[in-house]
Amino acid sequence: MTLNQTIIYLLTQITKFATPKLNSCLKIDQIIQLEAHTQILAEITSNQILLNNVNISDKLNIKQKSATKPLAKNVDLLLEKIGPNITALNHLGVSYQVNDINQEIDQIRQLISGTSWHLYEEKSSVKSARWFFVGDRQNWREPLFKIVLNQPDKKEESWYPHFQIDIDTNLSFKELDQITSNFFDQKVVNYKCRWFLMFVIGEVQGVKIALGIGTSARRPEKQRQNLFVWS
């Protein structure tokens, strides 16, 4: 499968197992449409990743011929296990390296100018990266689109470039840590904190696939009020 086919497959599986269904924000019919504020915020087609109808696939430096690391073999079983506890799609997103973060911010702001969406920033736990979101935080039930901008850092190269899928659950950190430990071995690159667990579950065409799973402590309605508003 290509990168885009893999993303579409994973999101299809999540909507299949999730209760309640996530169809209110995800439209799936061979392509993925992420809706926010009654508009299409992002779209994944067979060969493009679009943000506000602008193709941003090139940002990920997708390689047509590149070694592929298959998805973690138990990812389907994990999604099925936690499916009844999935409460929402928090965000989709991308992470990539840039030479000038401020210049990239200006390009993102230009990309969403004239829309009802805003650019937000969340405090990053990584010195060489900054975390941004596009969307509307006022309706916290709607998903956002995340953009992680990285400056060169060898310590963080195991994380980017990547495409990110992040879901909310009603499970505690202890519950999620125990469940995921039963499905993923220690070789899976991961990051864990009180609010979420994140795993690099595969790599396709040189782009990593990251799965974020929010704990019950990450309350989206509170989380989003702490985002810094850029525009």
Tens of pLDDT, residue by residue, the chain (231 residues): 899 999 999 999 999 998 766 666 888 878 999 988 788 999 999 999 999 999 999 999 888 766 677 787 889 999 999 999 999 999 999 999 999 999 999 999 999 998 989 999 998 888 889 999 999 988 888 899 999 999 887 777 778 899 999 999 999 999 999 999 999 887 888 889 999 999 999 999 999 999 999 999 998 888 888 788 875
- Torsions phi, psi of 227, nearest 5? -75, 140
At residue 124, the pLDDT reads: 87
At residue 103, the pLDDT reads: 95
Residues 6+ apart with CB under 8 A from 161: 59, 60, 61, 94, 95, 96, 97, 206, 207, 208
At residue 67, the pLDDT reads: 62
The domain ranges of the chain are 60-229
At residue 6, the pLDDT reads: 93
| 69: DSSP letter | B
At residue 20, the pLDDT reads: 66
At residue 21, the pLDDT reads: 62
Select the CATH number that applies to the domain covering 60-229 from these four: 3.40.50, 3.10.180, 1.10.3470, 1.25.40: 3.10.180
Structure tokens at 133: 């979101």
Residue appearing with tokens 């998805």: 71
AA letter at 183: F
At residue 150, the pLDDT reads: 93
Structure tokens at 12: 């299809």
**Quick check: bond before 161 cis, omega within 30?**
yes
